Protein backbone atom coordinates (compact mmCIF):
# COMPACT_ATOMS: atom_id res chain seq x y z
CA UNK A 1 0.00 0.00 0.00
CA UNK A 2 2.86 2.34 0.79
CA UNK A 3 4.30 1.84 -2.68
CA UNK A 4 0.89 2.56 -4.21
CA UNK A 5 0.65 5.76 -2.18
CA UNK A 6 4.14 6.81 -3.37
CA UNK A 7 3.20 6.17 -7.01
CA UNK A 8 0.10 8.29 -6.58
CA UNK A 9 2.13 11.16 -5.17
CA UNK A 10 4.52 11.04 -8.15
CA UNK A 11 1.61 11.13 -10.56
CA UNK A 12 0.18 14.16 -8.80
CA UNK A 13 3.53 15.92 -9.11
CA UNK A 14 3.66 15.19 -12.84
CA UNK A 15 0.17 16.58 -13.29
CA UNK A 16 1.13 19.71 -11.35
CA UNK A 17 4.18 20.15 -13.57
CA UNK A 18 2.07 19.82 -16.68
CA UNK A 19 -0.41 22.37 -15.37
CA UNK A 20 2.42 24.81 -14.67
CA UNK A 21 3.87 24.31 -18.18
CA UNK A 22 0.48 24.96 -19.79
CA UNK A 23 -0.07 28.07 -17.67
CA UNK A 24 3.34 29.46 -18.64
CA UNK A 25 2.96 28.76 -22.36
CA UNK A 26 -0.54 30.18 -22.68
CA UNK A 27 -0.19 33.01 -20.22
CA UNK A 28 -3.11 31.88 -18.01
CA UNK A 29 -3.44 31.10 -14.34
CA UNK A 30 -2.77 27.61 -13.01
CA UNK A 31 -6.41 27.35 -11.89
CA UNK A 32 -7.59 27.95 -15.47
CA UNK A 33 -5.08 25.44 -16.71
CA UNK A 34 -6.72 22.74 -14.54
CA UNK A 35 -9.72 22.76 -16.86
CA UNK A 36 -7.48 22.03 -19.82
CA UNK A 37 -6.40 18.72 -18.25
CA UNK A 38 -9.88 17.27 -18.64
CA UNK A 39 -9.03 16.13 -22.17
CA UNK A 40 -7.84 12.91 -23.73
CA UNK A 41 -4.19 11.93 -23.97
CA UNK A 42 -4.19 12.48 -27.73
CA UNK A 43 -5.59 15.99 -27.38
CA UNK A 44 -3.14 16.77 -24.60
CA UNK A 45 -0.18 15.59 -26.72
CA UNK A 46 -1.38 17.68 -29.66
CA UNK A 47 -1.68 20.69 -27.37
CA UNK A 48 1.90 20.27 -26.18
CA UNK A 49 3.17 19.98 -29.75
CA UNK A 50 1.29 23.14 -30.65
CA UNK A 51 2.85 25.02 -27.74
CA UNK A 52 6.34 23.86 -28.74
CA UNK A 53 5.69 24.98 -32.32
CA UNK A 54 4.56 28.41 -31.14
CA UNK A 55 7.72 28.79 -29.08
CA UNK A 56 9.86 27.96 -32.10
CA UNK A 57 8.00 30.39 -34.36
CA UNK A 58 8.03 33.29 -31.91
CA UNK A 59 10.60 36.00 -32.90
CA UNK A 60 13.75 36.27 -30.80
CA UNK A 61 14.17 39.31 -28.54
CA UNK A 62 15.87 42.30 -30.22
CA UNK A 63 19.63 42.55 -29.86
CA UNK A 64 21.08 45.48 -27.96
CA UNK A 65 22.61 48.05 -30.35
CA UNK A 66 25.61 50.04 -29.18
CA UNK A 67 24.81 53.77 -29.12
CA UNK A 68 27.33 56.36 -30.40
CA UNK A 69 29.88 57.42 -27.82
CA UNK A 70 28.89 60.60 -26.04
CA UNK A 71 30.10 62.55 -23.07
CA UNK A 72 33.02 60.87 -21.38
CA UNK A 73 33.24 58.23 -24.12
CA UNK A 74 34.18 60.92 -26.64
CA UNK A 75 37.35 61.57 -24.68
CA UNK A 76 38.64 58.14 -25.73
CA UNK A 77 37.99 58.69 -29.46
CA UNK A 78 41.11 59.00 -31.63
CA UNK A 79 41.20 61.96 -34.05
CA UNK A 80 43.18 62.45 -37.26
CA UNK A 81 45.39 65.50 -37.77
CA UNK A 82 44.26 67.38 -40.88
CA UNK A 83 47.85 68.29 -41.78
CA UNK A 84 50.00 65.19 -41.25
CA UNK A 85 47.03 62.74 -41.32
CA UNK A 86 48.43 60.83 -38.32
CA UNK A 87 46.23 59.56 -35.51
CA UNK A 88 46.27 61.88 -32.52
CA UNK A 89 45.42 60.80 -28.95
CA UNK A 90 42.71 62.89 -27.24
CA UNK A 91 45.19 64.57 -24.92
CA UNK A 92 47.12 66.03 -27.89
CA UNK A 93 44.22 67.14 -30.09
CA UNK A 94 43.95 70.88 -30.76
CA UNK A 95 41.32 72.90 -32.60
CA UNK A 96 42.26 76.06 -34.47
CA UNK A 97 38.84 77.70 -34.66
CA UNK A 98 35.49 77.56 -32.89
CA UNK A 99 33.70 77.69 -36.23
CA UNK A 100 34.74 74.20 -37.38
CA UNK A 101 35.61 70.78 -35.95
CA UNK A 102 38.98 70.33 -37.69
CA UNK A 103 41.54 68.73 -35.37
CA UNK A 104 45.33 68.96 -35.44
CA UNK A 105 48.31 67.68 -33.52
CA UNK A 106 50.39 70.10 -31.48
CA UNK A 107 53.44 70.07 -33.76
CA UNK A 108 51.53 70.69 -37.00
CA UNK A 109 49.31 73.50 -35.74
CA UNK A 110 52.10 75.36 -33.93
CA UNK A 111 54.38 75.04 -36.97
CA UNK A 112 51.64 76.30 -39.28
CA UNK A 113 50.98 79.40 -37.15
CA UNK A 114 54.69 80.18 -36.75
CA UNK A 115 55.27 79.94 -40.50
CA UNK A 116 52.27 82.15 -41.28
CA UNK A 117 53.20 84.87 -38.80
CA UNK A 118 56.77 85.28 -40.07
CA UNK A 119 57.84 87.53 -42.90
CA UNK A 120 55.85 90.73 -42.50
CA UNK A 121 52.23 91.73 -42.59
CA UNK A 122 49.52 89.30 -43.58
CA UNK A 123 45.82 89.88 -44.04
CA UNK A 124 44.58 86.95 -41.97
CA UNK A 125 45.36 83.40 -40.86
CA UNK A 126 42.68 80.81 -41.48
CA UNK A 127 42.16 77.26 -40.28
CA UNK A 128 44.32 74.87 -42.36
CA UNK A 129 41.65 72.17 -42.35
CA UNK A 130 40.58 70.89 -45.78
CA UNK A 131 43.50 72.68 -47.43
CA UNK A 132 42.43 76.18 -48.46
CA UNK A 133 38.69 75.46 -48.33
CA UNK A 134 38.11 76.26 -44.65
CA UNK A 135 37.30 79.95 -44.20
CA UNK A 136 37.23 80.06 -40.39
CA UNK A 137 39.73 82.44 -38.81
CA UNK A 138 42.03 81.10 -36.10
CA UNK A 139 41.01 81.72 -32.51
CA UNK A 140 43.96 83.09 -30.46
CA UNK A 141 42.62 81.65 -27.21
CA UNK A 142 42.62 78.11 -28.62
CA UNK A 143 46.16 78.46 -29.97
CA UNK A 144 47.88 80.41 -27.20
CA UNK A 145 49.01 77.36 -25.24
CA UNK A 146 50.90 75.71 -28.11
CA UNK A 147 52.80 78.64 -29.68
CA UNK A 148 55.49 81.00 -28.44
CA UNK A 149 54.72 84.42 -27.04
CA UNK A 150 56.17 86.09 -30.12
CA UNK A 151 54.03 83.98 -32.45
CA UNK A 152 50.95 84.70 -30.33
CA UNK A 153 51.52 88.46 -30.56
CA UNK A 154 52.03 88.16 -34.32
CA UNK A 155 48.81 86.16 -34.62
CA UNK A 156 46.82 88.76 -32.69
CA UNK A 157 48.34 91.54 -34.80
CA UNK A 158 47.40 89.69 -37.99
CA UNK A 159 43.81 89.26 -36.82
CA UNK A 160 43.59 92.94 -35.87
CA UNK A 161 44.96 93.84 -39.28
CA UNK A 162 42.30 91.69 -40.92
CA UNK A 163 39.57 93.54 -39.03
CA UNK A 164 41.03 96.96 -39.89
CA UNK A 165 41.41 96.09 -43.56
CA UNK A 166 37.84 94.88 -43.59
CA UNK A 167 36.70 98.32 -42.45
CA UNK A 168 38.48 99.95 -45.42
CA UNK A 169 39.18 103.33 -43.75
CA UNK A 170 42.76 102.91 -42.59
CA UNK A 171 46.31 103.88 -43.49
CA UNK A 172 49.85 103.58 -42.13
CA UNK A 173 52.06 106.23 -40.71
CA UNK A 174 54.54 106.82 -43.59
CA UNK A 175 57.59 107.17 -41.34
CA UNK A 176 59.65 103.97 -41.33
CA UNK A 177 60.45 104.17 -37.64
CA UNK A 178 56.73 104.28 -36.76
CA UNK A 179 54.38 102.56 -39.29
CA UNK A 180 51.46 102.87 -36.89
CA UNK A 181 48.08 101.65 -38.16
CA UNK A 182 45.67 104.57 -38.29
CA UNK A 183 41.91 104.45 -38.77
CA UNK A 184 40.06 107.46 -40.15
CA UNK A 185 37.02 107.78 -37.89
CA UNK A 186 36.28 111.39 -38.87
CA UNK A 187 34.98 110.61 -42.35
CA UNK A 188 35.54 112.62 -45.51
CA UNK A 189 38.82 113.44 -47.22
CA UNK A 190 41.31 114.74 -44.63
CA UNK A 191 44.79 115.04 -46.22
CA UNK A 192 46.73 116.70 -43.36
CA UNK A 193 46.89 114.36 -40.38
CA UNK A 194 48.99 113.81 -37.29
CA UNK A 195 50.14 110.38 -36.21
CA UNK A 196 49.06 109.84 -32.58
CA UNK A 197 52.09 107.63 -31.97
CA UNK A 198 55.02 109.71 -33.26
CA UNK A 199 53.22 113.10 -33.41
CA UNK A 200 54.46 113.88 -36.92
CA UNK A 201 52.39 115.32 -39.73
CA UNK A 202 51.66 113.32 -42.86
CA UNK A 203 49.29 113.36 -45.81
CA UNK A 204 46.66 110.66 -45.39
CA UNK A 205 45.60 111.07 -49.01
CA UNK A 206 49.07 110.58 -50.52
CA UNK A 207 50.42 108.35 -47.75
CA UNK A 208 53.62 110.39 -47.38
CA UNK A 209 55.09 112.89 -44.90
CA UNK A 210 53.22 116.16 -45.05
CA UNK A 211 54.07 118.13 -48.22
CA UNK A 212 53.66 121.64 -46.89
CA UNK A 213 53.12 124.39 -49.41
CA UNK A 214 52.03 122.22 -52.33
CA UNK A 215 48.79 120.44 -53.08
CA UNK A 216 48.35 116.70 -53.47
CA UNK A 217 47.97 117.16 -57.23
CA UNK A 218 51.25 119.06 -57.43
CA UNK A 219 52.99 116.49 -55.28
CA UNK A 220 51.79 113.71 -57.56
CA UNK A 221 53.40 115.44 -60.55
CA UNK A 222 56.83 115.64 -58.92
CA UNK A 223 59.63 113.40 -60.07
CA UNK A 224 60.60 110.65 -57.60
CA UNK A 225 63.86 112.47 -56.81
CA UNK A 226 62.06 115.68 -55.86
CA UNK A 227 59.88 114.25 -53.10
CA UNK A 228 62.41 114.30 -50.28
CA UNK A 229 62.07 116.43 -47.17
CA UNK A 230 64.67 118.97 -48.33
CA UNK A 231 63.08 119.12 -51.78
CA UNK A 232 59.72 119.95 -50.27
CA UNK A 233 61.27 122.77 -48.24
CA UNK A 234 62.75 124.23 -51.42
CA UNK A 235 59.42 123.88 -53.21
CA UNK A 236 57.64 125.68 -50.42
CA UNK A 237 60.16 128.52 -50.59
CA UNK A 238 59.90 128.62 -54.40
CA UNK A 239 56.17 128.97 -54.15
CA UNK A 240 56.54 131.88 -51.77
CA UNK A 241 59.12 133.58 -53.98
CA UNK A 242 57.06 132.86 -57.12
CA UNK A 243 59.82 130.94 -58.81
CA UNK A 244 59.03 129.32 -62.13
CA UNK A 245 60.06 126.03 -63.69
CA UNK A 246 61.71 125.59 -67.04
CA UNK A 247 59.11 123.90 -69.26
CA UNK A 248 61.75 121.48 -70.59
CA UNK A 249 64.00 120.41 -67.70
CA UNK A 250 61.64 121.52 -64.87
CA UNK A 251 64.51 123.34 -63.17
CA UNK A 252 63.48 126.20 -60.83
CA UNK A 253 64.23 129.68 -62.16
CA UNK A 254 64.23 132.92 -60.16
CA UNK A 255 63.52 135.86 -62.45
CA UNK A 256 65.13 139.02 -61.11
CA UNK A 257 65.13 141.27 -64.19
CA UNK A 258 65.03 141.24 -67.97
CA UNK A 259 62.55 139.71 -70.35
CA UNK A 260 60.51 136.58 -69.80
CA UNK A 261 62.54 134.57 -72.33
CA UNK A 262 64.30 131.53 -70.83
CA UNK A 263 66.99 129.45 -72.51
CA UNK A 264 67.20 125.92 -71.16
CA UNK A 265 70.70 124.86 -70.11
Burial 119-149 (b: 16+ CB within 10 A, else e): eeebeebbbbbeeeebeebbbbeebeebbee
Query: Quick one: pLDDT at residue 94?
Result: 81
- Average pLDDT along the chain, 265 residues, taken 10 residues at a time: 48 56 54 54 70 60 44 60 84 80 85 75 69 75 80 77 68 81 68 83 83 77 68 70 73 73 74
Query: Quick one: pLDDT at residue 7?
Result: 45
Query: Quick one: pLDDT at residue 104?
Result: 86
Query: Quick one: pLDDT at residue 3?
Result: 46
Query: Quick one: pLDDT at residue 242?
Result: 73
Domains in the chain, please, with CATH?
A: 12-55 (no CATH), 76-167 (3.30.40.10), 181-253 (no CATH)
Contact between residue 157 and residue 181 where contact means Cβ atoms under 8 Å apart = no
Query: Quick one: pLDDT at residue 66?
Result: 39
Amino acid sequence: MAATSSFGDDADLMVADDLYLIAVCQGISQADATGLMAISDEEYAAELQLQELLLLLSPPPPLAVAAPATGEDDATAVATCKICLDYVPPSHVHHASRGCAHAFCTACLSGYISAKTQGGRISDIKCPGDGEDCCNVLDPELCQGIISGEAFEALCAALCMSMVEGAGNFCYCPFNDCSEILVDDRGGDVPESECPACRRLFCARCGVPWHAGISCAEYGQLAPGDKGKEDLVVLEMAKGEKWKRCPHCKFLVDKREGCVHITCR
